[in-house]
Amino acid sequence: MNLTELNRIATAMVAPGKGILAADESSGTIKKRFDAIGVESTETNRRDYREMLFRAKEAMSQYISGVILYDETIWQDAADGTPLIKLIEQSGAIPGIKVDEGTQALPMCPGELVTVGLDKLAERLKRYYERGARFAKWRAVIDIGSGTDGRGIPSMTAISVNAHALARYAALCQAALIVPIVEPEVLMDGDHDIDRCYEVTSRVLNKTFQELRVQRVALEGMVLKPNMVVPGKKCPKQASVEEVAEKTIRLLKACVPAAVPGIAFLSGGQSDEEATAHLNAMHKLGPLPCPLPWGLTFSYGRALQAAPQKAWSGRPENVTAAQNAFSHRARMNGLASKGEWQSSLEKKAA
């Protein structure tokens, strides 16, 4: 393991004013996105869409530090024969790869899931590194139960097995000279309030870092991709932007070691502007009670892509408009990652 190189890459991934584009939707997920805009999810259409994003020069060169790819995408060539991964490299961004293989039901824990994909991961990482990937992503999914029937969710079993898998994945990545993005996502789908999210996320992060230490993962050579502390979508009382920012920062300071180079938030179902506003507000809190020890930025998928997908709608004549929409969202989040975003900028763009 070359920790100096891993740290260099991890630090570049969370550089001020830049963030990570999550373009790693599975075939099933991108089909749903394409269905919504009336586009058939063929390999060529998926290639054309992602090529359009990677050729958006303003966004990719100024606001995107890295791109998470799906297995299909990392092996694809652009229409002119250029490997898509080369387009990312030419923009100055770092190519990455999603390596988990989805989830399966967790035995003896009804309603809970465990992420799979550790089998033969070492061999896959070697191939991805040779292709040009320099970081990877593994997503663990933690649900919060709704109503009286869901009080036991998440169980400590679900938290433990997912944290253990995250740590094993991270150790394998570092052995392959690939920076691991560690993504323990507490979902916002339920009716829980913001304090319940805080409590569950605290348990998840604490267990995850405990397992990372057991697996001897070098914290200086990883990036954390957590959820923000938000109430569930079905909660009757939604939180203000300021409350989300304050509680998220308080939680991170309590749970995330200073050795971690950076934190890149997932959007987790928030709207485009909500995800931007929350990130911006965290940087506006000020150095209380002390300055943040790690870089704080974004690793968004839908919150960066919803607007360009709608603008594109599968039509070649819409490529420029779609790239402009992507560049706008990337710029807004780049500003938010420095605490320089203002809602008036969104209105001007509209």
Which amino acids are annotated catalytic? 183, 225
Do the beta carbons of residue 192 and residue 235 sit within 8 Å? yes
Cis (ω within 30 of 0) for the bond into 293? no
d(CA 45, CA 30): 11
DSSP 187: P
- The alpha carbon torsion through 319, 321, 326, 331 (nearest 10 deg) reads 140
What does residue 295 show for φ and ψ, rounded to 5 degrees? -65, 150
C-alpha span between 74 and 84 (Å, rounded): 7
Q: Is residue 8 exposed (0-12), middle (13-18) or buried (19+ Cβ within 10 Å)?
A: middle
Among 112, 103, 110, residue whose Cα is nearest residue 138: 103
Q: Phi/psi class of residue 296: alpha, beta or left (left: φ > 0; alpha: ψ in -120 to 50)?
A: beta
Residue whose C-alpha is closest to residue 125's, from 161, 99, 143: 99
Tokens of 239: 């939180």
Angle at 311 between CA 230 and CA 58, to 5 degrees: 80
**Residue among 286, 282, 296, 280 nearest 335 (CA):** 280
Chain centre to alpha carbon of residue 73: 17
